[in-house]
Chain A
Amino acid sequence: MTTIFENLPVDADSLPKVEDIDFKSIEKKYLRVTLIASAIFWFVLILGWLAIAHFSEMEKTLLSYLAGSGGIFILGTLNFIVTILGFKKKKYALRQRDILYTKGLLWHVRTSIPFNRIQHAELKQGPLERMYGLHSLKVYTAGGQTSDLVIPGLKEEPALAIKDFILGKTAADGDDTEP
């Protein structure tokens, strides 16, 4: 262990450790939601290219159609691979006093927000998410969006429970009597 706490009035070992928590994965079905959404995106992009190739002055050989859409297809495939591999990195955890979320395949990112610093929490649901019965939990903090947090791919029941839990904790912050 390093010595950062040598001059602080706290024993480093007595603090709750983020490293030891069991993180929960988000719903597997959410992977399908993201994949369908990006499939639609890349498909539209390819259509767009074909339209440009068709209506522009360009020579209409098979190559001109294939070159662009092939490039887009390769990018789309890469995007799919990263999404699938990165999916199992999307995990969340609730502790007594904060909420944590991890993500990122190449760049690991873990964000922790204490309940008593949360301004507001809400559930969101896009059309695709609705088809699969999933919700995204959005946690707002003060002053801009840089530290806001979105946890996607939650089933209705736990999503509501977590939201109410957070809002309850946030509200109870004012009369925080027992540790």
Chain B
Amino acid sequence: METTLSPDFSSPRRQSRVAIGIILIKFIRMTIRAFWPILISFFIGGRNNSSFEEWLGYIAIGFAAFNLLGSVLTYFRFYFHIENDAIVIDKGLLKRTHTNIPFERIQTINFKQNILHQIFNVVSVEIDTAGAKKSEISIDALGKEEAEAFRDFVLAEKDQIIAESMPETQEAQEAEPEKSERILHLTPKDLLKVGVSQNHLRSMGIIFAFVFTTLQQFTDDVTDTVTDQVNQYDNLLPDSNLVIFIITALVVLIISFLFSLINTVLKYYDLSLSINKSGLKIVRGLFNREEISINKSKVQIISWSENPIRRIFRLYTLQIEQASSAEASQLKSKIRVPGSYMEQVTRVVGTVFPKEYFRDETKFGVSKHLKHRLFIFLGILPTLALGVSLYFTQGWEALYALLLLPLVWYMTTLYHRKRSFELNEELLRNNSGIFGNAHDLMQIHKVQAVRIKQSWYQRRKSLATVQLFTAAGHLTIPFITLDLALELENYLLYRAESDSREWM
């Protein structure tokens, strides 16, 4: 090992030189975000003015100087080092701050790279800590080798401190030597498969939401313009609503498809998942490369799901939910790995949870009353609403709305058939899905709250819904008999209360 090369972190040191550039870009983005209304108003208001170009020059120069000065100063005022088992960061231009992060409070250290980082082979280091609300401290740019040495050093020290404070835990000693095994690597072919099999309806929704909110904010005239445009074509192609409809639908479809494909490539390019002693490590992304470490004991729920297209490729989307301290990073606590084969899902589950308990158990289904309720609320009521409103515009053609009923009935039947849970002494597994299949797996001693809910209807049928909360997300088991729900509640509470293992 080349650990002899590892730099000495005990004296205050600066970031990599490249950091100046990276901070500069961060700065420019920040100032633009803060001042863009002023900048735009200058553009619009000053265009008629003769001295406008002169002014624009001054503003641009001032703007650039401000940013350059700011980022250079920020760089030279930023120091970090390790002292007394803590990371110490000194920074700040006008207001100096001195941050001290004890090793034992550090949850994970993650790396991020945007395109600049990648060009200069540096990483931005994010230190995730427990407790405080604003729990993320980051170092903007550090040479990759240096950052890795830094992380390994800190995490090793941290493990040692924890091992010392709990002498009875022998696990740390018997752990296998530090090695990491890559179990998944998304090849371009797999990436393409993942992109093709994305949920394109969701992309469509995102695009519509973007178009309607963002564009409308910019100018209210957009809708008018669009209507004008459409009217123009109306004159050209009289009585061809159907043609326009089909063309629009095709265009929307293609755009959505491309959108999700590009999104997938940007986010999951060259994704790799590896297993090491403490847990899992994920590296992914094209322009923004992220490296995320997942600690075994922090994982609360593992889910895997597929849809009909993915089933052809035998691909699953794996999702790992880990306990995270920051409320802001709730999104970050869910890590998705699309394009996993069953073999890899099994591997990950076996690494994070005790392998011997990962097996099929008796399936407990949910009551058929759930199906009936769903059919009433998602089938009959919408059909009535649609039918009545169509009747006033289209007359008896409104009867077509009845076609919705068999479709909803079919879907609720599928849903009810797939909805079930399985339990053994270590794991609880939730199964669901309509056209696809989804499974959530949870280690039951990690439950931190059990909630039993009964609506007025459920009380009459003596049914209940059980919700199990963990430090990251919750599972719901709907419409099971009250007796079963109570038994489940008693057992899960007993397991959570009598288990002294680490749970987050």
Residues of A within 8 A of B (CB): 1-2, 4-5, 7-10, 12, 15-19, 97-98, 104, 106-117, 141-147, 149, 173, 176, 179
Contact = CB atoms under 8 A, between A and B. Distances in A.
Contacts of A4: 364, 423, 484, 487-488, 491
A112 B489 contact: yes
A131 to B, nearest CB: 32
Contact of B493 (A1, A12, A98, A176): A98
Contacts of A15: 490-491, 494
A13 B484 CA distance: 13
Contact of A108 (B453, B481, B500): B453
29 contacts: A1-B487, A2-B483, A2-B484, A4-B491, A7-B424, A12-B491, A15-B494, A17-B486, A17-B490, A18-B486, A18-B489, A97-B497, A107-B456, A108-B459, A109-B452, A110-B452, A110-B453, A113-B449, A114-B447, A142-B325, A142-B471, A143-B333, A143-B472, A144-B327, A146-B474, A147-B469, A147-B474, A173-B500, A179-B498
Interface centre among A106, A109, A114 (most CB of B within 10 A): A114
B450 A111 contact: yes
Contacts of A8: 423-425, 491
B464 to A, nearest CB: 9
A69 B451 CA distance: 38
B420 interface: no
A142 B131 CA distance: 10
Contacts of B150: none
B487 A2 contact: yes
Interface string B175-218: 00000000000000000000000000000000000000000000
A144 B423 contact: no
Contacts of A109: 451-454
Nearest to A1: B483
Contacts of B362: 7
Contacts of A108: 452-455, 459
B494 A16 contact: yes
Nearest to B323: A143
B490 A141 contact: no
B116 to A, nearest CB: 33
Nearest to A145: B327
B449 A111 contact: yes
B448 interface: yes
Contacts of B452: 108-110
Nearest to A105: B456
B494 A117 contact: no
Given A113-B448, A141-B448, A107 B361 contact: no
B118 to A, nearest CB: 32
B324 interface: yes
Contacts of B500: 173, 176
B385 to A, nearest CB: 23
A141 B470 CA distance: 9
B23 to A, nearest CB: 32
Contact of A114 (B330, B361, B448, B483): B448
A10 B361 CA distance: 16
Contacts of B423: 4, 8
6 tightest A-B contacts by CB? A147-B469, A117-B448, A147-B449, A143-B471, A142-B471, A97-B497
Interface of B: 300, 323-325, 327, 330, 333, 361-362, 364, 423-425, 447-456, 459, 469-474, 481, 483-484, 486-491, 493-494, 496-498, 500, 503-504
B330 A144 contact: yes
B496 A114 contact: yes
B497 A114 contact: yes
B135 to A, nearest CB: 12
A19 B486 contact: yes
Contacts of A144: 327, 330
A142 B504 CA distance: 9
Contact of B494 (A1, A10, A107): A10
Given A110-B451, A143-B472, A149-B449, 13 more contacts: A7-B361, A8-B425, A12-B487, A12-B491, A106-B456, A108-B454, A110-B452, A114-B448, A116-B497, A117-B496, A141-B449, A142-B448, A147-B451
A153 B471 CA distance: 27
Interface centre among A4, A16, A109 (most CB of B within 10 A): A4
Contacts of B451: 109-112, 147
Contacts of A141: 448-449, 469, 471
Contacts of A115: 497
B493 A18 contact: yes
A104 B488 CA distance: 21
A111 B471 CA distance: 15
A4 B495 CA distance: 15
Nearest to B464: A108
B391 to A, nearest CB: 29
A141 B503 CA distance: 12
Contacts of A117: 447-449, 496, 503
Contacts of A114: 447-448, 493, 496-497
Contacts of A5: 487, 491
Contacts of A147: 448-449, 451, 469, 474
Contacts of B364: 4
B93 to A, nearest CB: 34
A143 B299 CA distance: 12
A142 B321 CA distance: 13
A114 B447 CA distance: 9
A109 B424 CA distance: 26
Nearest to B361: A7
A2 B482 CA distance: 10
B278 to A, nearest CB: 20
A116 B362 CA distance: 30
A116 B445 CA distance: 11
A4 to B, nearest CB: 5
A109 B466 CA distance: 10
A106 B364 CA distance: 27
A135 B498 CA distance: 31
Nearest to B450: A112
Contacts of B490: 12, 15-18
